[in-house]
Amino acid sequence: MTYTLFIGDRTYSSWSLRGWLMLEKFGLPYRIAEVGLYTGTMRRDLAPAAPAHLVPALLTPEGEPIGDTMAIAETLAERHPGAGLWPEDVAARMRARWLAAEMHSGFPALRSRCPMVLSHSYDGFLAPPEVLAELDRLQAIWAEAHARFGAGGPWLFGRYSLADAFYAPVAARIAAYGLPVGDAAANYVAQHLADPAFRRWRAEGMTVGYDPEPYAMDLPRLPWPGPEPVAARAIASGPSVNAACPFSGQPPTHFLKTQGVVIGFCNARCRDKAANDPEAFPEVSAIYHSVTKQA
């Protein structure tokens, strides 16, 4: 029983990130269908999910299309009651739905003034008053939710829930634009940036570039403020320590070197996403950790 998730570009499509986290973080089976947001192929690419016309869109295993992240969230929660997408506690579940819905329909200044970008951060961005007001609101609802319901974990309701999936793109915006928040909110942002699933999404997004770049600002750029990846670089040839690509199982044709270990992949995209953040992919890190332990 596998879902098909239609997504846009990983570096810029905040709504696509939400939809992907709903499946990835809760272990639900899915495959990805990529939609060309910036290549002029969006309508054609989304045709199998019609009448959906925006990303993300979901096809159920039965072939039923679902558009809009709130509809996707509720459908998945209904179909997988044991997966823990919403908190178990009734009051916490009501609050989590409220916070997700407020994110879904609100914070227009933050959305428009600070488009999501995961490739870098900006130096010197000055948040206008309307963005600062929305940041105050964000911090208030985050702090209240965690104080009341978040015991036992770093997420808004303790363990990861759909509410956190909805706010992951907000965390990315705060990080990319250096938006001013207090320590508690900054820690919550850092939790998202360090999350292995978030890191995998970002690493794969970094394999694709655009000219011109969407949403570029005329400001100095800084490195992405998340955890510093393990150093890795593409190399021209093997041999590799692995006989099959850790993602596809196919014979290696492309190679990278990290931690003194050569690892092979079935194509350039597999290699490049791994090179962008090797530790984000357990299939990759397990290879070089096993070799270094033997040494």
Q: What angle do CA 60, 65, 71 make, to 5 degrees?
A: 90
pLDDT confidence of residue 213: 94
Q: Give the residue-averaged pLDDT of 77-81.
A: 98
Model pLDDT for residues 112-131, shown as the tens digit of each residue: 999 999 999 999 999 999 99
pLDDT confidence of residue 11: 98
Percent above pLDDT 70 for the chain: 99
pLDDT confidence of residue 291: 86
pLDDT confidence of residue 292: 72
CB 99 within 8 Å of CB 143: no
Distance CA 281, CA 156 (A): 25
Q: Predicted confidence band at 152 (pLDDT cuts at 50, 70, 90)? A: confident
Q: Predicted confidence band at 295 (pLDDT cuts at 50, 70, 90)? A: low
pLDDT confidence of residue 1: 86
Parallel, antiparallel or unpaired: strands 30-34 and 3-7: parallel
Please state whether the predicted TM-score (pTM) of the whole model is above 0.85.
yes
CB 122 within 8 Å of CB 220: yes
Q: Give the residue-averaged pLDDT of 266-277.
A: 98
Q: What is the rounded average pLDDT for all residues in the chain?
A: 97
Which sign, positive or negative, has the C-alpha torsion 206, 108, 36, 122? negative
Percent above pLDDT 90 for the chain: 97
